[in-house]
Amino acid sequence: MAGETITTGEYISHHLTNLTYGKLPADYVRVDAEGHTHVLEQAQWTMAHSAQEASDMGFMAIHVDTMGWSIFLGILFCWSFARAAKGATVGVPGGFQNFVEIVIDFIDDNVKSIFHHKNPWVAPLGLTVFCWVFLQNLMDLVPVDWIPELAKLMGIHYMRVVPSTDVNATAGMAIGVFILILYYSIKQKGIGGFAAELAFQPLPKWALPFNLFLELVGLIAKPISLALRLFGNMYAGEMVFIIISLLPFYIQWVLSVPWAIFHILIITLQAFIFSILTIVYIAMAYDKH
């Protein structure tokens, strides 16, 4: 990082640490930037000053940068598409309106080919998931030092700008999809019908324990696969960019430009997969067996 002499491990660790807000217990020993220590007299809610403090804050800590960038990108998506809709014309569309129409038609065609039931919310859900995840992934193309260094000048210790490289963000979205799966499964089949589908299909009734176990594993695997697939691919891409940034400047451009071009395909594909699987899982919730 600019103005500091740090090891490669410290550089990578810094870029992989989230800006974390949480609670440190009483008698916790904190170490400041100058290396001085002091003991907390009582439990304190505060920003973590190191990766160790972030880890010690436990489950109830929140990644402020992940939440902040996710909300910002969600607002950006809503504002930009609403602006395009408000300024839409029936004649030859402008550049951005044409782009928005292409995205909407693309998602709509895929939803129609997968979801054969009546639900006015499914296509907008698919569009929202695709655009939101795509914008989160797109932040990976911002040079790795730009925003963290700017945040450092503002006194902010850490700043990760790609929400989808945080498993908490991908798991949160996946849990949201899982809740929708359960909701529509129960709504369409009733609690009894949904339970019977888990327990008695396709094996006979005497095999209920085995069938229930297998079906529950398959059900729980849906959000887990959604979360880990997106997280794993984006985390790996982020690591590649960080490693490239450690190389000499002239080598960085030789490697980063081709990787960034290839990464555009990855971030688009991952957003598409997350969106389509969301629609597929909801379609499966509607299907009665």
71 CB contacts (<8 Å, ≥6 apart)?
none
Strands 37-39 and 29-31: antiparallel
State the CB neighbour count (10 A cutoff) for residue 273: 16
Positions marked active-site? 225, 229, 233
Rounded to 10°, the helix 64-86/167-200 angle is 80
> What are phi and psi for residue 167, nearest 5 degrees?
-60, -25
Structure tokens at 61: 């800590």
Cα–Cα dist 91/246, whole Å: 50
